[in-house]
Structures are given as structure tokens and as C-alpha cells.
Amino acid sequence: MVILISIFAFIATLLGGLFAIRFKDKLHLILGFSAGAVLGVAFFDLMPEALGLGSQHYGFTNMIAFVAAGFLFFMLLDRFVILHAHYTMHDHDAVEPATATTVRGKLGATSLSLHSFLDGAAIGLAFKVSLAVGIVVTTAVLVHDFSDGINTVNIVLKNKGMRGEALKWLFIDALAPVLGAASTLFFTVPESTLGLILALFSGFFLYIGASDLLPESYHSHPTKWTTVMTVVGAGVLFLAIRLAGV
């Protein structure tokens, strides 16, 4: 049953990514939605789950510190490991190295895929607790997997990745929850450890949304509709997660 449910997550993720590729001429609007969706996942899904699982073991303040650690760690990767270039207002003709740009896209897509793997693992672990918990967690995962597909494709295309590469990462991201769910047949993760992992991913997503997708969506098309789409993206994730928890 768990594997069957994870296949629905696979399909939902694929559909979201294919939607993003089909309407890539409206990429600034999709990026705006994607930025809101990524921030929505961090604020309304990952962070509350992390606090709920880990605060009783490590304390509320320490869990927030792990969120900050995830944000700062991803920032260091972006700034130094993959050589994210920064230019002053006088560097109008400066162009960021293509290799650094595409590597940032791969790093973001990897983070999203790891999150999808954890989604699948969460489904499997939830069903080990009870059927009711499994259903709630499954619903929460499925409702934002469509956005996960959009986000994965967007972060690759936005960072100068080709359509084929975007499709490759989309498939990896779609397959990840299936592998995550299957992996729980062989291990069990303590709630406290899972809480720390989710806290770190909250930080990762906050950085991706606020420092990468959001500025890029507004850079070339500073219109009110881009901003509206960001609010819509966050709002859709908020409503979906709330409805899933009913």
C-alpha cells in the first residue's frame, strides 16, 4: 500500500514539472508561484513538522537554530563552493560563469529531490505509527508534490539548464518519494532525528525561495502579477496543508 501511494506522488510530481516546461514562456510568473510555494513548504509544512517532532527532545530554541544552520549552510555552499558571483551596479556587462550557474541549479534540484525522498520516507514511517497518521501525512505530501515538480524544473531552467536536464531532474525528483517509501521497509528513524533533518531542510528551502527564486522571478519582469503569483503560491500551499490536516 505504501509503495502504491508513493507512485501517486511520482505522478503528481511529474505532472507539475511537465506543466512548468509546457508554459516556460511564462517562466517569471511560474517562478513567482514557485518561490511562494517553496517558502510555503518551509513555513507551513517542514518547519511545523520539525518543531513538532524535535522540540520536545531538543527544545524550541535549538530547533530554530537548526533551521538557521540549514539556511546558512546552503548559503555557504552557494557563495563559496559553487562560486556564486556577485557584481556591483557598475558591472552591467558582467556575466556569471555558466558553470557556477548550472551547478547552483543542480544543487537546488538535489535539495528538492532529497526533500522528496524524505516525503516518501515520511509516508512509510507514518503508516508504521497508524493508518490514520499515514493517511494524514500522505495527503499532505500529495497536495504539494505538484508544486515540487514545478519547483524542480524551474530551478534548473532558471539557472541555464537545458530542457533535457530539467526532465532528468524532474524524473529523479518524482522517483525520490518512491525510493523513500521503499527504504522504510528496512529501517526506522527516531522522531527526534527526523525532526532535525526536517529543520535543516526548512533552512535550505528558505534560502532557495528567498535568495534565489524570489529575486530571479522579479528581476526581469518587475510586475505586480509576479508578486501576486508569489502570494498565490504561498497561499495555495497553506490551504492545501491545512486541508490535509483536517
Rounded to the nearest angstrom, the gap between the alpha carbon of residue 28 and the centroid of all alpha carbons in its chain is: 18
pLDDT digits (tens, 9 = 90+) for 73-93: 888 877 775 544 443 334 444
Is 84 strand, coil or helix?
Answer: coil
175-224 per-position pLDDT tens digit: 988 898 888 888 777 877 888 888 888 898 898 888 877 776 776 666 78
Q: Residues 161, 97: contact at Cβ < 8 Å?
A: no
pLDDT value, residue 87? 37
| CA angle, 145 then 148 then 152, to 5° | 150
- Cα–Cα dist 65/24, whole Å: 37
The model carries a pTM of 0.67
Rounded-to-integer distance, Cα 153 and Cα 137, Å: 24
DSSP secondary structure code for residue 80 in this structure: I
d(CA 126, CA 183): 13
Which of these, 63, 98, 67, lies nearest to 84 by C-alpha position?
A: 98
Least confident piece of the model among 28-37, 45-54, 126-135, 157-166: 126-135
CA 215 to chain CA centroid, nearest Å = 17
pLDDT score recorded for residue 221: 63
- What CA–CA distances, in Å, run from 17 to 87, 130, 145, 148? 31, 32, 10, 8
3-state percent breakdown (helix, strand, coil) of the chain, nearest 5: 85, 0, 15
Of the chain, the percentage scoring pLDDT greater than 90 comes to: 10
Confidence of residue 137 (pLDDT cuts 50, 70, 90): low
Give dist(CA 56, CA 243) in Å, integer: 25
